[in-house]
Amino acid sequence: MAKRWVRWFAWVAAIGVILALIAGIVLCESAIRVPRKTLPAGPGLGVTWRSVDMTARDGAEMRAWLLLPRKPNGNAVLVLHGIADSRTGTLGLARMLLANGYVVLAPDSRGHGESGGELATYGLLEADDVHRWVDWLIAAEHPRKVFGMGESLGAAVLIQSLAVENRFSAVVAECPFASFSRVAVDRVAQRLPMIPWLGHIVATPLVWSGFAYARVRYGLDFLDASPESVIGRTSTPVLLIHGLKDTNIYPLHSRMLAERNPRNVALWLVPEATHTAAFGFTKQEFEQRVLGWFAEHSR
């Protein structure tokens, strides 16, 4: 009888491992191959603009819009969108920045929009893409100061880029994740029909299985996709913004990031805001804080 139970348990464990591996592969592929949005012919903001491109380190062609204000203040902002979005998702921010004299560079992230790159890598390759966009911006427009602003994945990428890019005078990051491994477990657990603590227990081996697959299949170590490992050693001023009702990326992520570097990082928690929605919930204060942050670090 005991041997029968041992064999039964071994079979169940083996089936569980196989299912976890399969689920991990499915989760990984769906995360790194995102559907692309079709872009309009132009930004439609009534300002001077042009399409520009840049070649990434791996040879992928990156595409962007360069938007020029009517009354330039001499400074420029690189704006980054979130997952499964495109540069069109940053046009609301661009409108605010253009109205205040900033040149705006709005790229499609790799694997998104019209940019090349087969896979989204959650900062592993995108961090160097940001570095090269700053190279391009400085060479093309010669701004006095360069700032960065990102939302969700774009915010996390922006923070990770600080490991290789020190020319930002300051950055604003709304709703970033602290680490891809942590947010991946959060997001998988949210989709499981069980109470949160149990969902996290079940989600963890699925995520780790997906990470192992990404490492073997694509050479991507997603454990290195970690803004929290970068923000603690940066001297670039960072303003974190996070809605307290964000259920996509929990506010805990920004709290963890802020605790890593209280000297150079400020945190604004917005009581009623959901994911990347602070601008919509408190437009006037959002503009004051963001524009004030850039102005403070323009001197």
CATH of the domain at 173: 3.40.50.1820
When the pLDDT of each residue in the chain is averaged and rounded to a whole number, the result is 93
Mean pLDDT of 202-217: 95
**Residue 246 domain-assigned?**
yes
Closest CA to 250 of 194, 179, 195: 179
**Residue 219 domain-assigned?**
no
Mean pLDDT of 208-236: 97
DSSP strand E in the chain: where?
48-55, 61-68, 76-80, 103-107, 146-151, 168-174, 238-243, 265-270
In this prediction the pTM is 0.93
For the record, the structure tokens of 259 come out as 């605790």
Mean pLDDT of 56-76: 98
Mean pLDDT of 136-141: 98
* Pair (7, 155) in one structural domain: no
**Residue 72 domain-assigned?**
yes
Q: How confident is the model at residue 7 (pLDDT cuts 50, 70, 90)?
A: low
Q: Is the pLDDT of residue 14 over 90?
A: no
* Pair (167, 280) in one structural domain: yes
Per-residue pLDDT of 254-288, as tens digits, reads 999 999 999 999 999 999 999 999 999 999 999 99
**Residue 267 domain-assigned?**
yes
233 by Cβ neighbours in 10 Å (0-12 / 13-18 / 19+) ranks as exposed
**Residue 220 domain-assigned?**
no
DSSP 8-state symbol, 84:
T
For the record, the structure tokens of 205 come out as 């081996």
For the record, the structure tokens of 191 come out as 């989709």
Mean pLDDT of 48-76: 98
* Pair (70, 110) in one structural domain: yes
* Pair (155, 192) in one structural domain: no
Rounded to 10°, the helix 196-218/2-32 angle is 70
- Please give the residue range of the domain that contains residue 193: 2-31+185-214
According to the model, what pLDDT value does residue 180 have? 98
Which region among 19-28, 50-59, 140-149, 286-295 has the lowest average model confidence (pLDDT)?
Answer: 19-28
- CB contact at 8 A, 184 and 197: no
* Pair (252, 149) in one structural domain: yes
* Pair (105, 160) in one structural domain: yes
* Pair (206, 229) in one structural domain: no
What's the domain count of the chain? 2
Which region among 1-5, 156-160, 229-233, 271-275 has the lowest average model confidence (pLDDT)?
Answer: 1-5
**Residue 68 domain-assigned?**
yes
Q: How confident is the model at residue 1 (pLDDT cuts 50, 70, 90)?
A: low
Q: Is the pLDDT of residue 216 over 60?
A: yes
* Pair (26, 173) in one structural domain: no
**Residue 78 domain-assigned?**
yes
* Pair (96, 145) in one structural domain: yes
Which tops the pLDDT comparison, 117 or 15?
A: 117
Q: How confident is the model at residue 12 (pLDDT cuts 50, 70, 90)?
A: very low
- CB contact at 8 A, 147 and 168: yes
* Pair (152, 192) in one structural domain: no
Per-residue pLDDT of 126-138, as tens digits, reads 999 999 999 999 9
Give the residue carrying structure tokens 């603590």: 197
**Residue 159 domain-assigned?**
yes
According to the model, what pLDDT value does residue 156 have? 98
* Pair (209, 128) in one structural domain: no
* Pair (289, 238) in one structural domain: yes
